[in-house]
Amino acid sequence: MNTAQRTVWSDFVYATRSQFSTHMQGVDWSMNSTLSMIHRRWMVLVASIVLAMGLAIALLFVIQPQYTAQALMQINTRSEQVTKVEDVVSSLASTDAAIRTEVDVLTSRKLAARVINKLNLQDELIHQGSFFSYLKSAIKLMIMPVAEQNAEKDLVEDARMSSAINALLKNLEVSQTPRSYSIKLSYTSPDREMSATVLNTLMDEYLNNQLEERFEATRRASAWMDDRLSKMQKQVQASDIAVQKFREANNLTSAKGVLLSEQQLSELNSQLILARTELAEVQAKNNQARRLQQSGRGIESAAEVLNNSLISSLRQQETEVRREMAELASRYGEKHPRMITVRNQLGDLRRKINEEITKIQGSLENNVAVSQARVNTLQEQLTTLESKTYLGNDASVRLAELERQAEASRTLYESFLARSKELAQMDFAQTDARIISSAELPLGPSSPNKPLFLAIAFIIGAAIGVGLMFLLELLDSGFRTSNQMEQDLNTPLLGVLGELPQEDSEAGNLANYVVMKPTSAFTEGLRAVRTAMQFSNPDKPAQVVLISSSIPEEGKSLFSISLAQLTAQSGKRVLLVDADMRRPSVSNQLGLKPKAGLAELLVAQVKMKDVVHTLTETKLDVIPSLPNSQFSQELLGSQKMRDLLADWRKTYDMIVIDSPPVMAVSDAITLSGLADSMLFMVRWGSTPRALAANAIKLLRSTHAPLTGTVMTRVDLNRQASYTNGDYGYYHGKYKGYYTE
C-alpha cells in the first residue's frame, strides 16, 4: 500500500469513529423528514407496542393477583359496667393519643405473632417476607459444631418467625379515620380467603388481648385454684403415664377395648383354618392322582391333566399325526421314508405329553408339602401365642386397677376445672373496642390494575418504538437519496438503477436483462446514465470507461455488462474487459467458460483471438479473467496493457473495463490512469457513507478521471418513503411508460 492509500485509511478510521456524531449533524430533523421516517419505520413502532403489550399481557398471567380485605373497628366512648372488674382495671380513655396507641397495638409484632401461631401461617408467609436473617442463621447452623447446634436452632426458629411477622405487617395497613373514633384496617394477600381470615383473626386477637389484660388482675384471686389445678393435672398425667408404661411393659396394647394379643390369637385361628382347608384340597387332588396311577389307568384322566392347555394342544397334534400316519400306511407301507418320519413325530409328541404329565404330578406333590409346612408353622405360632395369653391374665387385672385410679384422678380434675371456668365467667368484662364491620371476601383483585398496567405498557412500548425509530435513523449509514450522495461525495450523480426482480436473479437472466427487456425501467435508467456520461464531455466522448466501486457487491459487474450490451445494441463495436483478476464475475454472469483470460493475454501466453468471446445477440466482445492472479497490479500497470488499449482504441468504439473495488485493492487506481472516464457505483442503503467518501477522496488524490456516481440496486418502493424528489418517489406514477 502506497503513502496515499495509508493516508486515506487513517482518515477512514478517524471518520468511522466520528461517524455517529457526523451523521447526527447531517440528519434532517424537519417535520417532513420526521413524517417520512414514521412512514417508513412504522412497523418498528407497531412491533415495539405489540411486544410491550404482549409482555404486559404475559406478566398479567404470571403476576399473582393480590386481594385486599377491609374492616372497621370502633373505640368505645362509653363503657358499660357488667361486673366490678373495673375496680381493678380502669377503662380506656377516649383521646386521640389513646386511639393512636391502639393503632400501634394493632400493628405490634406481638399481636402479629399471635395471629401467625393461631392460623399456622409461618410457612406460608416465610417466602413473602425478608428471610435473609433466617438464611444467615441456617448457614451458621450448618457450619458450627454439633454441641452448639441445639442452642442455635432456637435462633433459626426466631428468624423464621421474624420473617413471617415482617411479611404480615408489610401487607397490613391500620389507620385512624380523621375526626372519628373508628380505625380502618386492610390486609393484602395473594389468597382471597387468607386476606379476610387474617384481618378477622387480627381483630379477634386484639379483643382477646384486651380481655386478657383485664383478666390478669382478677386471675390473682383464683391463684389457689390454678395452683391446685396444676398439681391435679400433673397427677392425672402421672396416672395416665403409669397406665401406658404398664401396658407397654406387659404387652397389653389394645385397640377399641380388645387386647392386641387376643386379636392376634383370633387372626391366627382364622389363618390356620384356611390353611388346613387348603391342605385338605391339595391332598385330595394328589391322592386322586395316585389312585388313578395305582389302578393302571394313569393320571391322564385327572382334572389337572385334562385342563392343561399344553397337553390338549399336544394331543390334538398327536391325533393329526396318527391320521396322517394312517393315510401314509395305506398308501406307501410301513418302511416308506415319510412313514418313518411321521412315526418319529408321533414318538416325540408322546414323549412331550408324558413329560408334562410328570411335571403335573410333581407339582401336586409339591403343593401338598407347601400347604403342610404352612399349617405346621401356623400351629406353632398359635401355641406360642396361647401360652403368652395365659400369662397376661394376671397383668390385665393389675392394668384394670391402674385405669380405675387414673379415671378417678381425671374425674376430680374435671370437677375442679369446671369450677375454675365458673369463676372465670364471673370475672367477665367488656372490651374497649368493638368490630363495626368484619372483613369479607374481596370480590376482585386489588392489584395489578390491568387497565393501568396495559396503558403504561402501551406508553412504554410507544416510547421505545419512537426511540428505536430515531436510533435506526441515526445508525442508517447508507445513502438513501440523491441529495445525500451529491452532498457527501461532492460528485455528480449520473443516474439511479433499481433492484432487478428476484425471479430474473434466480433464473440467471441478469446479464442479459437489457437485451431481453429493452423497454424496462432498469434499461431506461442505464440509458440515462450513458447519456449523462456522454454529455459530461460532449467535445471528447469517452472511449475507455472504467467501472469501479468502494467494496464488493455494489453491482459494478452487472452495470459493466449491461452498459456494454446496451451500447453494442446500438450498432457500435464494444469490448468488455474483466479486469478484476482476483474475483472475476463477468464470465460467470454471462455463462462463459474461458480457458484463458486477460492475465494470460498480458504475459503473451495466448493471442487476442484465443481470449475474446463474442456474444451472439449483441455482437459484444468480452475478455474474461481467471481468478487468483498474484501479480494483477503489475500486469495492469504494464506497458503491455497500454499497448493493448492503444490497439483496442483503433478497433472498438467503446471499451468498458470492470475493475476491482477501490478500497479492497489498488488495481482500480492503476487502471484509472488508462481510462477516459470512470464511473463509481454506490449501492443504495448499503455502502457506508464514510467508506464511499474515502474511496472518492482516494481517487481524486490519484487524479482519476471520475465522471460521476451511479446509485445501484435501489429499492424503488422503499426509496419513495425517504424523499419526494428522487426517482423512486415518482416511480409508481410514470412506470406506465415502461412496457416491461
> Residue type for 605, please?
Q
What span, in angstroms and rounded, lies between the C-alpha atoms of 639 and 635?
Answer: 9
Least confident of 210-219, 246-255, 676-685: 246-255
142 burial type by CB count under 10 A (0-12 exposed, 13-18 middle, 19+ buried): exposed
Give me the mean pLDDT over the 201-228 stretch: 75
DSSP SS3 for 220? helix
pLDDT at residue 583, as a whole number: 87
The pLDDT tens digits of the residues spanning 138-178 come to 565 566 555 555 555 667 777 888 888 888 888 888 888 77
pLDDT at residue 613, as a whole number: 92
CB atoms within 10 A of CB 472: 13
Residue 4 pLDDT class (50, 70, 90 cuts): very low
The pLDDT tens digits of the residues spanning 350-359 come to 787 777 777 7
Cell numbers given for 559: 452495470
pLDDT at residue 140, as a whole number: 57
Give me the mean pLDDT over the 1-9 stretch: 50
Note the residue count of the chain.
740
94 touches 432 (CB < 8 A): no
DSSP line for 67-112:
EEEEEEEEE-SS---SSGGGGTSPPPP-SHHHHHHHHHHHT-HHHH
What span, in angstroms and rounded, lies between the C-alpha atoms of 482 and 617?
Answer: 34
What span, in angstroms and rounded, lies between the C-alpha atoms of 342 and 346?
Answer: 6
Residue 650 pLDDT class (50, 70, 90 cuts): very high
- For residue 442, give the H/E element and its range: none
105 touches 185 (CB < 8 A): no
Pick from 574, 657, 658, 643: which is nearest to 604 by CA? 643
The pLDDT tens digits of the residues spanning 537-561 come to 877 888 899 999 988 888 888 899 9
pLDDT at residue 637, as a whole number: 85
pLDDT at residue 656, as a whole number: 93
- For residue 575, give the H/E element and its range: strand 574-578
DSSP SS3 for 721? coil
Least confident of 191-200, 294-303, 554-563: 294-303
pLDDT at residue 87, as a whole number: 42
Q: Is omega for the bond preceding 448 within 30 degrees of 0, making it cis?
A: yes
For residue 137, CA distances in Å to 166, 275, 662 come to 17, 61, 71
140 burial type by CB count under 10 A (0-12 exposed, 13-18 middle, 19+ buried): middle
Higher pLDDT: 600 or 95? It is 600
DSSP SS3 for 251? coil
Least confident of 77-81, 110-114, 404-408: 77-81
Q: Which residues of 304-335 are buried (b: 16+ CB within 10 A; e: fewer)?
A: bbeebeebeebbebbeebeebbeebeeeeeee
Paired strand residues for 124: none
486 touches 693 (CB < 8 A): no
Give me the mean pLDDT over the 484-493 stretch: 83
What span, in angstroms and rounded, lies between the C-alpha atoms of 539 and 562?
Answer: 25
DSSP 447: B
Q: Is the whole-model pTM more than 0.85? A: no
133 touches 159 (CB < 8 A): yes
Sign, Cα dihedral of 141, 145, 146, 148: negative
What span, in angstroms and rounded, lies between the C-alpha atoms of 536 and 67?
Answer: 80
The pLDDT tens digits of the residues spanning 435-449 come to 888 888 888 787 777
CB atoms within 10 A of CB 19: 17
pLDDT at residue 90, as a whole number: 46
The chain-wide mean pLDDT, for the chain, equals: 76
Least confident of 57-61, 479-483, 719-723: 719-723
Give me the mean pLDDT over the 310-331 stretch: 76
Pick from 534, 563, 571, 572: which is nearest to 652 by CA? 572
Examine the pLDDT at 40 and tell me if it is beyond 50: yes
pLDDT at residue 622, as a whole number: 93
Side-chain half-sphere CA neighbours of 667 within 13 A: 28
Higher pLDDT: 332 or 635? It is 635
Cell numbers given for 361: 404330578
pLDDT at residue 506, as a whole number: 53
Q: Which residue has the cell 447531517?
A: 26
Q: Name the percent of the chain lying above pLDDT 70.
A: 72
What span, in angstroms and rounded, lies between the C-alpha atoms of 431 and 205?
Answer: 12
Higher pLDDT: 96 or 705? It is 705
655 touches 649 (CB < 8 A): yes
Examine the pLDDT at 625 and tell me if it is beyond 80: yes
First-to-last CA distance in the chain? Answer: 46
545 burial type by CB count under 10 A (0-12 exposed, 13-18 middle, 19+ buried): buried
Residue 20 pLDDT class (50, 70, 90 cuts): very low
The pLDDT tens digits of the residues spanning 103-113 come to 888 888 888 88
Examine the pLDDT at 707 and tell me if it is beyond 80: yes
Examine the pLDDT at 416 and tell me if it is beyond 80: no
Give me the mean pLDDT over the 515-542 stretch: 84
Examine the pLDDT at 657 and tell me if it is beyond 90: yes
